[in-house]
Amino acid sequence: MQNESIVRLEHATKVYQQGKVEVRAVDGLSLNIGKGDFAALCGPSGSGKTTVLNLIGGLDVPTSGRVLLEDQDLATLTRSQVSVIRRDRIGFVFQAYNLIQVMTAYENAEFVLRLQGVSDRECRDRVMAILKEVGLEGLENRRPDEMSGGEQQRVAIARAIVTRPAIVLADEPTANVDSATADALLDLMQRLNQDSGVTFFFSTHDQRVMDRAHRLIRLRDGKVETDEVRR
């Protein structure tokens, strides 16, 4: 039985104007991401991977077609409504970590919960539990410049999942760490997927991520070239 759909792209096209040239970064793309997926989007540079993530994350809108998150068409919402969806329903993990440098690991992980107005006690309970889950127990008072790249990425993962989002969008999450750290991060994300049902959608060039993905979607020229389900 097919997983319940979290994200649907329906004939989504994104056209950018570069001078007098039209660039179709995404070209009539239709795609479903189901609840509990551990899926990777791969393809050569310029194939449209980042644009697809930006469309799903509400950071960009399609020129034509639709992008639906939990059956809501993002293009029909106001900017403030999309911002609330990004805050509450989408977790982001970036290759550059994007942590707030003056904040501790704890403060970075709790940041979005504070924006949501979660109480002090619930914030503490959820953040401490998630830091333990990602292997950062005892490091909650360290700032990013006192942590390794792998530890910083674990903070980013904690921040992404502490809000219990519908989907985590991970853009090249293993790009800035060594092989052993990349494997440990992938172990962590696989465990979160299998044990807690967290849905992950990766954009990647990393063969290790592709090898672990339960579903591998290859893009070329803004279109799906292959879509391979491995489970």
Residue 207 CA to residue 120 CA, distance in Å, equals 41
Residue 127 CA to residue 15 CA, distance in Å, equals 40
Tokens at 65, concatenated: 């077609």
Domain for residue 103, yes or no? no
Indicate whether 99 pLDDT > 70.
Answer: yes
Domain for residue 125, yes or no? no
- Residue type at 166 in one-letter notation: A
Domain for residue 182, yes or no? yes
Nearest one of 120, 153, 122 to 136, comparing CA atoms: 153
pLDDT band, very low/low/confident/very high, at 147 (cuts 50, 70, 90): very high
Please state the domain count of the chain: 1
Query: In terms of residue numbers, what domain contains 91?
Result: 5-96+166-229
Are the C-beta atoms of residues 9 and 75 closer than 8 Å to each other? no
**Mean predicted lDDT score pLDDT of the chain:** 93
Residue 77 CA to residue 214 CA, distance in Å, equals 32
Domain for residue 21, yes or no? yes
Indicate whether 1 pLDDT > 50.
Answer: no
pTM: 0.92
Strand-pair partners of 10:
66
Residue 203 CA to residue 175 CA, distance in Å, equals 11
Are the C-beta atoms of residues 156 and 98 closer than 8 Å to each other? yes
Indicate whether 105 pLDDT > 90.
Answer: yes
Q: What is the CATH number of the domain that holds 74?
A: 3.40.50.300
Q: Kindly state the average pLDDT of the residues 127-132.
A: 94
Domain for residue 127, yes or no? no
Task: Render pLDDT for 26-49 as a digit per residue (tens, 0 to 9).
Answer: 999 999 999 999 999 999 988 999
- Residue type at 205 in one-letter notation: H
Domain for residue 145, yes or no? no
Residue identified by tokens 């649907």 is 8
Residue 168 CA to residue 152 CA, distance in Å, equals 17
Domain for residue 23, yes or no? yes
Domain for residue 133, yes or no? no
Q: Kindly state the average pLDDT of the residues 190-215.
A: 93
Indicate whether 9 pLDDT > 60.
Answer: yes
With H, G, I as helix, E, B as strand and everything else as coil, classify residue 85.
helix
Reported residue count of the chain is 231
